[in-house]
Every structure is written in structure tokens, then in C-alpha cells.
């Protein structure tokens, strides 16, 4: 369903102005989006989806494809997201599709490729700041599971629990049980991962009123950790987060110390 087509006032906002251009002058619209297309292609190079020497060619392809898709965008754009975000998503998909035709999909770890992909963040501090920001955004994406993910990240990485950590997941659980659970899991960094889940399982079963074996809980936590790493690494991957180095971001989340953090 397209938003009502009417000419916007001269003091309109950018999205309205771009929407008018979509109908009146699509070439001018695409000219405005060139920066976005460059970032999309640079990310594709950084991830090895596209070779550096193919930059110009794929840049041309993205522009031509987007021009061809203007009628479809006019029909399908429903006016909820920003038009530029929607067009960026389409450009990402164009890039993915054509990169497979142009080149063999292989990972490039050349410094130039990585630098190019990260040319907007040339210092370590900026890169860390980006990682921190992406990690917090990734957590948002878990929606209603977020509180549970945070609790299990604490158990997985052996970070002391708080009453709120548990209450957020089990709002109707008795306070005594929560207090006992929290008291058990303070300063337990030296315990082995599987021992932690063996000790946590009885509490989790009572709190959640379910019967699960420790391996189930450990597996759930590990799956979420892997999922977070995949999200941060991207597809194609531009980073190399593992369960081990993800710990830094998790610890920072609960007690900010990295650049770019500072609030929970």
C-alpha cells in the first residue's frame, strides 16, 4: 500500500522530499543515495563478497539495478520505514546477488580489504565503539527473549548475578528462591562452565516450573552466544568474534569500561 501521493510543502522533511523525487526525478534521488551505495559495496569488499577490482563494476550494476527497480519501489513502498533505508536494503540484496555472478565467494583477509570496509573507523577506539554499539543493538533484536539471554550470558561467562537479572526473566518466582539463586552465583569465575549449569539447573527448573537437564540449558546459552557472534561478524563476515572474545563485550555491557559505552 503506497502512502497517499501528494506534493509536500516546501518545508517538508527529507523523507517526504525523497519520496517526491522518487516520482518526479528518480535519477536525482539515486544521486543522493550514492554515499549509501558506496558503503554497501565497501562492506561487501570487506567481507570478501566482492573483489576490490570489481568495485567500479558492481557500483555501476547497483545503480543500474536500482534505476530498473524504481517502478517497483513506487508501487511497493508502504511509507513506514525511511525510503533511504528501504533502498539501502534493496541495494544490499542486489550486491549479494550480483557478487555471486561476478566472483567466486571467498573470504579476503587482506589488510586493504579490511581497511576499506572500515575506512570510516580508522582508530581502534572507533572500532571498539562500533562493536559495543552493534552488540547492544544485537541484544535488542532478541525482543522478549532479551532478559533471558542476558541471564544466560551471565551464567555462561560466570558474571555475578543480581536480583533484577533473575526477576526480569521470572517475574512471578518467589523472592526466596531468587535470593538463593543469586547468592549461589556470586564470584564464581573459577568454576567450570558445565559445573555452573549443573548447579544452576535445579534453580532454573524451579523458577521456570519446567524440568530440563543441565545440558539443555548449556546448549541454549551456547546457541545464543554463537548467534551473537554470527550477528556481530556479519554475512559475509567482516569481523571475527568468537565465544571467547565476545566475553569482553558482555562484561562491558554489565559494567561499562570500553569506549562508546557508558550506559546500560
Interface ranges with other proteins (CB under 8 A): 3, 12-16, 18, 35-36, 39-40, 43, 76-82, 84-86, 88-90, 92-93, 120, 133-134, 137-138, 140-146, 194-195, 198, 211-213, 215-216, 219-220, 223, 227, 230-232, 234-235
Cβ-based nearer residue to other proteins, 53 or 210: 210
Contact 128, 260 (CB under 8 A): yes
54: cell is 570489481
Identify whether the C-beta of residue 125 lies closer than 8 Å to the C-beta of residue 259. Answer: yes
Output the DSSP codes for 212-230: --HHHHHHHHHHHHHHHHH
Cα–Cα nearest to 149, from 230, 225, 216: 225
The CB-of-85 to other proteins minimum distance in angstroms stands at: 4
Min separation Cβ 66 and other proteins, Å = 13
Residue closer to other proteins (CB basis): 82 or 248: 82
Which residue, 120 or 175, is less far from other proteins as judged by CB? Answer: 120
Minimum gap (Å) between residue 219 Cβ and other proteins:
6
DSSP secondary structure code for residue 236 in this structure: T
- Taking the least distance from each CB to other proteins, the nearer of 175 and 243 is 243
How far is it, in rounded angstroms, from Cα 93 to Cα 46? Answer: 16
In the complex, the smallest distance separating the C-beta of residue 107 from other proteins, rounded to whole angstroms, is 16
Closest distance to other proteins from the beta carbon of 222 (Å): 8
- CA 210/CA 34 separation, integer angstroms: 53
Smallest gap from Cβ 176 to other proteins, in A, equals 25
Contacts with 29 (C-beta within 8 Å, 6 or more apart), sequence order: 18, 21, 22
CB 62 within 8 A of CB 50: no
42 or 182: CB nearest other proteins: 42
Dist CA 215 CA 212 (whole Å): 8
Nearer to other proteins, 161 or 201 (CB): 201
Amino acid at each position: 500500500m503506497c502512502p497517499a501521493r501528494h506534493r509536500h510543502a516546501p518545508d517538508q522533511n527529507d523523507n517526504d522530499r525523497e519520496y517526491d523525487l522518487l516520482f518526479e526525478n528518480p535519477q536525482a534521488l539515486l544521486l543522493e543515495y550514492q554515499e549509501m551505495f558506496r558503503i554497501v559495496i565497501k562492506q561487501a569488499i570487506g567481507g570478501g563478497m566482492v573483489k576490490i577490482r570489481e568495485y567500479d563494476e558492481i557500483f555501476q550494476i547497483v545503480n543500474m539495478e536500482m534505476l530498473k527497480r524504481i517502478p517497483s519501489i513506487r508501487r511497493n513502498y508502504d511509507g513506514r520505514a525511511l525510503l533511504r533505508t528501504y533502498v539501502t536494503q534493496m541495494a544490499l540484496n542486489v550486491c549479494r546477488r550480483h557478487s555471486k555472478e561476478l566472483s567466486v565467494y571467498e573470504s579476503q583477509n587482506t589488510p586493504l580489504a579490511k581497511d576499506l570496509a572500515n575506512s570510516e573507523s580508522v582508530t581502534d577506539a572507533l572500532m571498539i565503539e562500533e562493536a559495543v554499539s552493534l552488540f547492544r543493538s544485537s541484544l535488542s533484536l532478541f525482543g522478549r527473549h532479551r532478559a533471558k539471554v542476558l541471564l544466560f550470558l551471565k551464567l555462561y561467562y560466570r558474571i555475578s548475578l543480581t536480583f533484577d537479572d533473575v526477576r526480569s526473566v521470572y517475574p512471578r518466582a518467589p523472592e526466596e528462591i531468587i535470593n538463593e539463586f543469586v547468592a549461589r552465583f556470586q564470584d564464581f569465575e573459577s568454576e567450570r562452565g558445565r559445573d555452573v549449569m549443573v548447579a544452576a539447573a535445579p534453580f532454573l527448573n524451579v523458577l521456570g516450573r519446567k524440568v530440563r537437564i543441565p545440558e539443555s540449558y548449556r546448549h541454549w546459552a551456547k546457541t545464543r552466544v554463537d548467534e551473537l557472534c554470527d550477528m556481530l561478524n556479519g554475512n559475509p563476515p567482516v569481523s571475527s568474534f568468537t565465544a571467547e572474545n565476545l566475553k569482553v563485550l558482555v562484561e562491558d555491557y554489565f559494567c561499562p569500561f570500553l569506549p562508546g559505552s557508558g550506559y546500560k
